[in-house]
Chain A
Amino acid sequence: MGFLEVKDLKVHFPIKGGIFGRTVDHVKAVDGVSFTLEKGKTYGLVGESGSGKSTTGRAIIGLNKITSGNVTFEGNDITANNRSRASFRKDIQMIFQDPYSSLNPKKRVIDLVAEPLRNFEKLSRKEERIRVQELLELVGLSPESILKYPHEFSGGQRQRIGIARAVALKPKLIIADEPVSALDVSVQAQVLNFMQEIQNELDLTYLFISHDLGVIKHMCDHIGIMYKGRFVEEGTANEIFESPQHIYTKRLVAAIPEIDPHKREELKKFRLEVNTEYEQAYNDYFDEEGLAYGLKPISDTHLVALPEKG
């Protein structure tokens, strides 16, 4: 029994139209996604924008309605948005992409960080203040800043406030939805390293959503590659980066920039090769609608979306 299990998750959004505003079609944002997350590990969801990776994360935490499928957390079904889910609310938290819009501009830091505490724990004002100051210290902000407004902080600092708020309830799972893509590159590494530190310190499990393979490589133990709402490949970080099997994954991996100038020429050649292969073999890897096939295991941990006879 895994820590978090997602089985055949589907999230479809209706398209309204016609005279009566009836539902005429669906956008299949997430279309049959399954994966398992182990405690204390980091699972990376990668894909281009619109691939459904964020929707997957948001559906798990309950921000998007699940059309069908199951989400099991520590053996309990939390698919339905009901009371059984409420009791796990504390244990699953989220870090948002945009540190500017994810903090209410009209609230002071103390109110922002204390919000989850006020929802779940009855603390006196003094206790609350101490907890907030501890949390701020934990994320590396000065405890004096509790009465400031979010606009007085930089993007990186704001994201730290967001993290402080997410860990306030000592959750077990954190869904990090592109937590660093809105930040300057120089700040990204800081925040990522800091996230790894608190992962060890607080025994956290991450579901890490990103379009940036470099970031994913740095953070994740397991990786799922998404394309148009489906998985194209899943495996350990090593498997994905060292022996990508699906043509889509290959192209993504080939696109990671290389810092070593000596290898640049080599990489350029490799990229061209992959591109040619992608164009030639596209029809072997995707069905008529351009969607990925079902996943086939090629080792214990490595799964690839290949057609039946592939």
Chain B
Amino acid sequence: MEKALEIKPKAIKSPSGFSIIWRELVRDKLALISLILLILIIAFVYGVSLVLDQEEIVKVDLFSIHEAPSEEFILGTDHGGRDVFGQLIIGTKNSLSIAIIVTVLTGIVGIVFGLVAGYFGGHVDNVLMRILDFFNILPFTMIVIAFVAVVPKYSVMTFSLIMTAFLWMGIARLIRSKALQEKELDYIQAAKTLGTSNIKIIFKHLLPNCMSLIIVTMTINLAANIGLESGLSFLGFGFPESTPSLGTLLSYARNPQTLEFRWWIWVPASLLILILMLAINNVGSALRRATDARQRRG
């Protein structure tokens, strides 16, 4: 009998959950356009910034301060005579990179926190939720500003860590309520009776079942994080000035003269932030609809 089985019968492989979501996403026109646009922007920005010399762009050139767009400078120059277009490219790259880093970090913290709270429930959940509530109440902008004031060696890494420290609660809360629902289902109980350890149950059973929620939330978080980073940079509490971001360009508009008369410095960056956030949100909402529809079909 064993011999007969060794001649492997053709196993029929069924499409996985992800390919179904993908199919739904592609069917949604607006989301598809947004996705293509996003891919183009990302490819362009990361591609061009390979060629661009960041040192060269952030170097102050006193002979070409506040020049209007011309053939030499497509988008003119800023108060340091620096090429706005170059800063825009590098700024977008930096903003996107940090938004991705923060999204991933908050994702990891939030998912683990939410899964543990939801899975164990009871006292563990109570204590963890009190902690979460506390973090949740603190006004994000204020606390980050206060932290930035304190941190001595301020770098991109510390910046993303500070942002992460005060942004993980949203996803943690969502994952927790999902985990609370899921863990009552028999497959979790079954795994316990089969001798599967808690850690394995959390990461091999609960986590895959929260995946669609995680993907949707992280996509929408990515958009929000682009906004938050540029907002903080706008106030002067984001990236150091040597590392331009989209927010840095916008912060020049805090000078009324620049705001009123030199649109080329801040309007393109504003538009780019808007486009990025809208496009990512479109993809996110399409993903949400796709995963919902899947649940409806059962």
Contact = CB atoms under 8 A, between A and B. Distances in A.
A–B contact with Cβ pairs below 8 Å: the answer is yes
Nearest to A115: B194
Given A115-B196, A144-B9, A146-B11, A94 B190 contact: yes
Interface string B51-77: 000000000000000000000000000
Interface string A241-273: 000000000000000000000000000000000
B211 interface: yes
Contacts of A105: 187, 209
Interface string A109-124: 0000001100110000
Contacts of A143: 5, 9
Interface in A123-171: 130, 133-134, 137, 142-149, 151-152, 162, 165
Interface string B1-34: 1100110011111100100000000000000000
A96 interface: yes
A228 B192 CA distance: 27
Interface residues of B, number: 29
A116 B189 contact: no
Given A104-B209, A106-B211, A90 B195 contact: yes
B33 to A, nearest CB: 30
Contacts of A86: 195
A115 B193 contact: no
Contact of A98 (B1, B13, B186): B186
Interface string B176-211: 000000000111011111111100100001001101
Contacts of A107: 205, 208
Given A96-B189, A96-B190, A97-B186, A119 B196 contact: yes
Interface in B96-140: none
A118 B257 CA distance: 69
A116 B298 contact: no
B187 A101 contact: yes
B2 A130 contact: yes
Nearest to B10: A144
Contact of B13 (A115, A116, A142, A147): A147
Contacts, number: 86
B119 to A, nearest CB: 14
A23 to B, nearest CB: 12
A146 B8 CA distance: 11
B3 to A, nearest CB: 10
Nearest to A146: B11
Contacts of A237: none
Given A130-B6, A146-B11, A149-B14, A106 B186 contact: no
A28 interface: no
B193 A63 contact: yes
Contacts of B192: 62-63
Contacts of B194: 93, 115-116, 119, 165
Interface of A: 58, 61-63, 86, 89-90, 92-94, 96-98, 101-108, 115-116, 119-120, 130, 133-134, 137, 142-149, 151-152, 162, 165
12 contacts: A63-B192, A86-B195, A92-B193, A94-B190, A107-B205, A116-B194, A130-B2, A134-B1, A144-B9, A147-B12, A147-B14, A148-B12
